[in-house]
Amino acid sequence: MKWVTTMSSCEDQGFPCQNLDYSAFDKIARAELSDPIDADELVNASKYCMRIPVDPNLTIGDLDHKLFLKVLRDKIGLYQLWVDYQTCDDHGSNTMLCVYVGKGPPEIRVSSHIGKKWASDVDLFATFTPMSNRLAKYYEQLFLDTYAFDLNSLENSGTEKLYAIWNEERYTLGTHLHEISNISKMQSPHDW
Ligand SMILES: [Zn+2]
């Protein structure tokens, strides 16, 4: 007899994986803004997405968090910090949990998070969407009003968890690995 399983691992284990519902967030942004960005775009399709090295003991050459964050230099917008939640083998996707939302120059702010409160054994992922400071302030507040983030202590009245779903490429390589390796001083694998 052939063993047949009808449930995928996300259904079986009951973690969020496909078609997440962000309607609580989108409904408000659509009512208040003339050209709203949906939550799906901000969290699952952000222009920047990167896994940032946080453990100095595991740093390869000059590829530390400062080098990664350099590609965000002089930019303004909305950033979010993420940790692993679950991996779904059936859908080849990674469910991520958002632990912080913020606005401003991401290079400086994310760097300060790493220095102050990030445990070096927890993988850190960051997403960033460039936008005007005024809009970033709006989306930051809307996220804070809708979702609960472990590392936001101020003005965080939301209660739902915010998840993202990333495919293997976004999860493993991120969006800017090429730019990051271009500014690395390591010229060849001999430097690694
Ligand atoms: Zn799944």
Instruction: Give the pLDDT of residue 136.
Output: 98
Instruction: Give the pLDDT of residue 9.
Output: 85
Q: Give 61's contacts (C-beta < 8 A, 6+ positions apart).
A: 184, 185, 186, 191, 192
Distance 86 CA to ligand 1 centre (A): 9
Helix (H) or strand (E) run with residue 163 in it = strand 163-167
Distance 172 CA to ligand 1 centre (A): 17
Q: Model confidence over 3-35: pLDDT tens digits?
A: 555 678 898 889 999 989 999 999 999 999 999
Q: Where are the domains of the chain?
A: 38-180
> What pTM value is reported for the model?
0.91
Per-residue pLDDT band at 185 (split at 50, 70, 90): confident
Helices (H) and strands (E) in the chain, counts: 8, 5
Q: Model confidence over 99-142: pLDDT tens digits?
A: 999 999 999 999 999 988 788 889 999 999 999 999 999 999 99
Distance 89 CA to ligand 1 centre (A): 7
Distance 98 CA to ligand 1 centre (A): 18
